[in-house]
Amino acid sequence: MDEALRTLLDELYADGTAHDADQPDRLRRRRNLEPETANLLALTLRVAGAREVVEIGTSNGYSAIWLADAVRDTGGRVSSVDVEEWPGVVENLVRAGVSPSVARVISDGGAYLAGLPEGSVDLLFLDAERVEYPRWWPHPVRVLRPGGVLAVDNVLSHPDEVAGFLALARKRDDLVGHTVPVGKGLFLAWKRATPR
């Protein structure tokens, strides 16, 4: 990552933190991924060689920029899905120079995943309304290719909200997962080619 992009990401993160501190409506907060978590997620994407990346929960585009920078190294693209177009997201992607690598999709996350072909996603990042995730089941795993990665943020900061989803994931013989205590907690899971 070059210095100009790092500076922009620092600016977006600081702006998001200040915005959230003054925003009483939780649903209007940007709730950006912490930089350490974003860095780990981008590294995981690179290590996995992920080309087809889906992010559910765009906000101001902060994490989409991290992911899009990483897919430049894998020759991939990011589909960033949100139920609405947040102010400034398009401008932020353009400023970061990653807009050609990001497809913006306005859709319910669960409906979007339900419409994807089986095994079509290399890395799926869930960072939206956590209580919705169990309703999206089994699509978050169905869409992953063998060797694909599932990443879920906020598993330590909001354990009650993700407990149902994580219980479903942990019952799967074809998923190997672990919660990494970085930021607000990142659950990472790898999909086996064949269940054990």
Whether the link from the prior residue into 24 is cis, omega within 30° of 0, is no
| pLDDT at 23 (0 to 100) | 72
- Averaged pLDDT, 91-98: 94
**Rounded average pLDDT over 118-146:** 96
Q: What are 6-20's pLDDT values in tens digits?
A: 998 888 887 777 766
What proportions of the chain, in percent to the nearest 5, are helix, strand and coil?
Answer: 45, 20, 30
pLDDT at 1: 79
Mean pLDDT of 70-90: 92
State the pTM of this model: 0.93
Q: Which CATH superfamily is domain 32-191 in?
A: Vaccinia Virus protein VP39 (3.40.50.150)
Domain boundaries, the chain: 32-191
Q: What is the pLDDT averaged over residues 40-49? A: 97
| Chain length of the chain | 196
Identify any residues that bridge with 53 across adjacent strands, giving them in sequence order: 78, 123
Alpha-carbon distance of 14 to 49, in angstroms, equals 30
Q: Rounded CA gap, 76 and 116, in Å?
A: 17
